[in-house]
Structure 1
Amino acid sequence: MILFREPDLVLDDTTVSPVSRAQNRVGICTACDGYLLSLGYYRHAGRWMVAARCSACSRALLMVYGDDWSWIEDLPLVVDEVNRHEPAITSLRVSEVPQERLEVVFTPAEIRDMIAFQEGRPYVRQNLYRARAKLERFERLFGVRIEL
């Protein structure tokens, strides 16, 4: 069993620390076609390993590569959820989110048009498109999902 205990990997009683914790899209999930996002990059026993999790179905796996980054195999990965200290994600309407938080990610025009959209008033479609592209970043920063 290979265990991911953030930020380390536990391989047969050996703890391996990450070389990098960069979060990148590293592939497509074979279970649901969602994006695989890296949790960490590791170097162990002459191999490169990338721990990844599907952004859609949360399936986790360890992608194993040779020294030259040629793919070797994918292995199931167990994520230790006990050590995770992420706040629960709450869903709010734009008008319920403090203005200061919104201003960190969105422009005034995007905020205005997200509120207008939710209230059924006229809005600029391009501002709403730009705002939707930033929703994931806002959720990651503040643990709040904005309902649009």
Structure 2
Amino acid sequence: MILFREPDLLLDDTKLSPVSRAQNRVGICTACDGDLLSLGYYKQAGRWLVAARCSACSRALLMVYGDDWSWIEDVPLVMAEGEGHAPARASLRVSEVPQERLEVVFTPAEIRDMIAFQEGRPYVRQNLYRARAKLDRFERLFGIRIEL
């Protein structure tokens, strides 16, 4: 069992402190397509470990990479009691945001596919991935958090 007790990782009897606690988007959750956000980066025995948590469903996992950052595996990560994530901010659906504001940051294809994703229609995954990478910029510019 691998336990995350902020900011450390507990691997059996070994406690690892993070090399970095930078919070970055590190992937897409396979359970719900939400953004995986890093909780910490760890170095152990010639490999990199990235603790991550889904911003949508709160699923936690440890992403294991080789020394050259080649992916090896993802393993479940257990969060220590009381290690909840920050309360979610109020967010809007894409269709509730004025079109003119969306067009400042997102391409027409990204806007189309964000709406399609929210409505449960077919969408191009790459467009959704690109749009998710721009969400922080959109929030900084307009103070609006978009729900995806």
TM-score band by shorter chain is 0.5 to 0.7
- For 1:76, the aligned partner's letter is P
Identity of aligned residues (%): 72
Aligned to 1:134: 139
Residue 125 (structure 1) shift: 6.7
1:27 aligns with 2:27: yes
Q: Alignment RMSD, CA only?
A: 3.5
Evaluate the alpha carbon distance shift between residue 128 and residue 27 of structure 1 in structure 2; reply closer, same or farther with a 3 A threshold: closer
Contact 1:6 1:84 (C-alpha < 8 Å) held by counterparts: no
Equivalences for residues 73-84 of structure 1 within 5 A: 73-82=73-82
Of Structure 1 and Structure 2, the greater strand share is in: 1
**Normalised by the size of structure 1, how large is the TM-score?**
0.60
Aligned to 1:37: 37
Larger Rg: 1
Tell me how far apart the structure 2 counterparts of residues 51 and 61 of structure 1 sit (CA, whole Å): 6
**Normalised by the size of structure 2, how large is the TM-score?**
0.60
Equivalences for residues 1-148 of structure 1 within 5 A: 1-82=1-82, 126=100, 133-134=138-139
Q: The residue matched to 1:72 in structure 2 has which SS?
A: strand
Evaluate the alpha carbon distance shift between residue 83 and residue 77 of structure 1 in structure 2; reply closer, same or farther with a 3 A threshold: closer
Tell me how far apart the structure 2 counterparts of residues 30 and 22 of structure 1 sit (CA, whole Å): 22
Tell me how far apart the structure 1 counterparts of residues 42 and 68 of structure 2 sit (CA, whole Å): 14
Evaluate the alpha carbon distance shift between residue 43 and residue 85 of structure 1 in structure 2; reply closer, same or farther with a 3 A threshold: same
- For 1:134, the aligned partner's letter is E
Contact 1:29 1:54 (C-alpha < 8 Å) held by counterparts: yes
Tell me how far apart the structure 1 counterparts of residues 81 and 16 of structure 2 sit (CA, whole Å): 18
- For 2:22, the aligned partner's letter is A
Unaligned runs of 5+ in 1: 92-123, 139-144
Equivalent residues, number: 111
Residue 128 (structure 1) shift: 9.3
Residue 55 (structure 1) shift: 0.7
Tell me how far apart the structure 1 counterparts of residues 33 and 85 of structure 2 sit (CA, whole Å): 27
Q: The residue matched to 1:82 in structure 2 has which SS?
A: coil
Evaluate the alpha carbon distance shift between residue 84 and residue 31 of structure 1 in structure 2; reply closer, same or farther with a 3 A threshold: closer
